[in-house]
Chains A and B, each alone.
Chain A
Amino acid sequence: MHRTVPSLPLAPSVKVKLINAGFQLASDLIDMRPLQLCKEAGISQEEAVEVLQMLRDDGQPHQQRAATESLTALDLLHQEQAVGSIVTFCSALDDALGGGVPVGKTTEICGAPGVGKTQLCMQLAVDVQIPVCFGGLGGKALYIDTEGSFLVQRVADMAEAAVQHCTLLAEDTEQRQALEELTVEKILSNLFLVRCHDYVELLAEVYLLPDFLSEHPEVRLVVIDSIAFPFRHDFEDLSQRTRLLNGLAQQLIQLATQHSVAVILTNQMTTRVSNGQSKLVPALGESWGHAATQRLILHWKGLRRLASLYKSPSQMEATIQYQITVQGFRDAPDEPRPTTASSAVSSPSGNHSKRLRMEDLS
């Protein structure tokens, strides 16, 4: 315990008072009681308790601390495989994403109005709850709605369709048992909704997320639909907007890894004119493009709806077709179903648990 008091991680005002009272080394403080310290240094009891707590935590031998903080790459690989991903019920998209939307990372979904961003978010909020014996995560979901487009009627339809899908797939007794508990009411009761009316409420909600996730450790998905809406009007100072968005992105990535949740952000599209040509690009500016780990862009091509994986650290860029039906987000009808051989190749993570595939129905 040879650390000097100025090097300790304390508030500067507290350090000054401790030094003025004559404490030079951490070892001088370690044997003090809070009341004694309070009187001698002239700091409040709260601060004294904090100082002593900090010193006690600091007292672990350095090697032990280092071992708990560093991980090998093999450990990380195992961890990633263990946390799993959330299926989207569109097998083409699941394959492109390497199994589904990854837990522990942030994924951004951009698209023009009406192309299906909210539908995909609602579908994921239902899919995260699929029981583990069916290949799902059996988790809960938190939906932060900033646009007011969360209509519970639609989620109920998707939940109904998901329950029917699982009913058709149930083979063994474990699955049938899990199916008895999987009702539309249970799915709806595990989906939390918060509505934010402006960016201040959204910032507040994200600050309260760590507490919420600690209180509800089964939550595996956090959706913010959309993050663009509250930030796109009455912001005269665009640099402040960039700062706030970057802060939000960092907080969300931290939450995703610490609490093992998948974070989904929806973004709008805007027109950008360059060289006399205009094209549709994701909103919120260039720097926002670096915020999320993965970026998925949904767009129209004639009558078809396509999803392109634009940015991903682990998957190849791909474009797949999907459709929105009464049941929810699904594969497009004439898309060739991937054979099991090719699917084993395209999902190197080797997720051997039963996965929900559309061809299992036949």
Chain B
Amino acid sequence: MEWEQLDLNPRIIAAVKKVNFRSAKEILCVSGPDLQRLTRLSKTDVQRLLCAVAAAVRKSKPVTALQLIRGECPVLEAGHRLSFACPVLDGLMRGGLPLRGITELAGESSAGKTQFCLQLCLSVQYPQENGGLNSGAVYICTEDSFPIKRLRQLITQQPQLRPDLPPALIRSRHFCDNIYIEHAADLEALRACVSQRVPVLLKRGLVRLLVVDSVAALFRSEFQADEAVQRSRHLLAFSNTLHRLSHEYGAPVVCVNQVTDVVDGPNPGRCDYGLVDSKVLPALGIAWANQVMVRLMLRRLAGQVQSDRRSSAPRKLEVVFAPHLPRASCLCGVWEEGVRGIPDDHSDLQPQGSS
């Protein structure tokens, strides 16, 4: 830290250098009286020093919410979201995924979580005015291998999914070139990927979406039931890295999560987020839930839903919590061209029960 750059009396700067402080963090973490004792400066001098160091650490001055909503601070509030490529799903999410923060998609196996993620990897590559971010995606697989055949099928079917876009625009995208696939077999590989390789891609602007499919697999398998504290620590470090990357580069992070069964009744030691009727809850406990900004749950329902004489098992996408969304849900189906939400008035559904 260059102490000369601070707007301070040279006497104070000399005292700071004599004590061998190396960074602003060291000064801010010492209390006022301790600083007085170490530097032998008076109370007012120490106050001035702390204010000058704090002003140097502060990245930007306070802005008003009016400036944010007018789009004058794109770093804090981008003003647009990452679209799901379906108007019904975008309506549920009030525009799509927020650009900063971790969005979690939890559900049982074969609920359709990977389908959502693949669709987002394609949607991100369109220009901003079409709901994308004009950039690629990183897809980190921890469970199964990447479903490349399904991705190819989705790419060929893009014109069916996005009839609102001109075909020339769709043809001009080199979808496969912009999706970077990583396989992480253990926690160490995952950590290395997220802290070394992903930042390089983000910095170069090659990607602006990060998908982790799934976050639960490695954390549940590598820790025993009684190692909850260590698991928490690794989980927090991992989510902190994701959080930092997401905020620095304005890249949405989507984490797929598994679910655990609820075997006993309501338990005061476990938070169920108001999901009373559910027999499953997202995995990884409250330590992970505290890091997530938007939590979505995907449930596969019984019955069938029709569209153009094709049928699919219906899914229910529910917003469990989000700072800007009410508790709402919508039905969707998984078709050849991707996931599409079913508007409320379109009840082609046959009677079904919830899972």
Contact = CB atoms under 8 A, between A and B. Distances in A.
B323 A233 contact: no
Contacts of B236: 232-233
A197 B64 CA distance: 18
B292 A113 contact: yes
A259 interface: no
Contact of A112 (B243, B286, B326): B286
Contacts of B50: 207
B57 A270 contact: no
A164 interface: no
B263 interface: no
Given A114-B321, A154-B323, A148 B57 contact: no
Nearest to A299: B271
A22 interface: no
A211 B52 CA distance: 12
A310 interface: no
Contacts of B320: 114
Contact residues on B (Cβ < 8 Å of other chain), bracket: 35 or more
Interface stretch (B25-33, B83-91, B182-190, B216-224): B25-33
A52 interface: no
B65 A280 contact: no
Contacts of A119: 323
A44 B15 CA distance: 14
Contacts of A279: 268-269
Nearest to A269: B286
Given A188-B66, A234-B240, A113 B290 contact: yes
Interface string B279-291: 0000001110110
B42 A152 contact: no
Contact of B28 (A200, A277, A303): A200
Interface residues of A, number: 71
A185 interface: yes
Nearest to A304: B274
A194 interface: yes
A152 B65 contact: yes
Contact of B62 (A185, A192, A232, A233): A192
Contacts of B191: none
B310 interface: no
A148 B58 contact: no
B69 A271 contact: no
A21 interface: no
Interface in B105-152: none
A326 interface: yes
Nearest to A208: B54
A112 B288 CA distance: 11
A194 to B, nearest CB: 5
Contacts of B28: 200, 203-204, 207
Interface string B38-80: 0011101100001101110111111111101100000011000
B50 to A, nearest CB: 5
B352 to A, nearest CB: 22
Contact of B98 (A50, A115, A151, A303): A151
A197 B249 CA distance: 13
A148 B42 contact: no
Contacts of B61: 194
A185 to B, nearest CB: 6
A191 B58 contact: no
A336 to B, nearest CB: 22
Contacts of B100: 148
B204 interface: no
Given A12-B40, A208-B54, 16 more contacts: A10-B42, A11-B45, A113-B273, A149-B293, A191-B64, A204-B57, A207-B50, A207-B51, A208-B58, A212-B62, A228-B290, A229-B290, A268-B290, A270-B287, A280-B268, A302-B276
Interface of A: 10-14, 44, 46, 50, 112-115, 118-119, 142, 147-156, 185, 187-195, 197, 200-201, 203-205, 207-208, 211-212, 228-229, 232-234, 240, 243-244, 247, 268-271, 273, 277-280, 299-300, 302-303, 305, 324-326
14 contacts: A50-B44, A112-B289, A114-B274, A119-B323, A147-B101, A148-B100, A148-B243, A189-B64, A193-B76, A194-B61, A234-B237, A269-B271, A271-B269, A303-B276
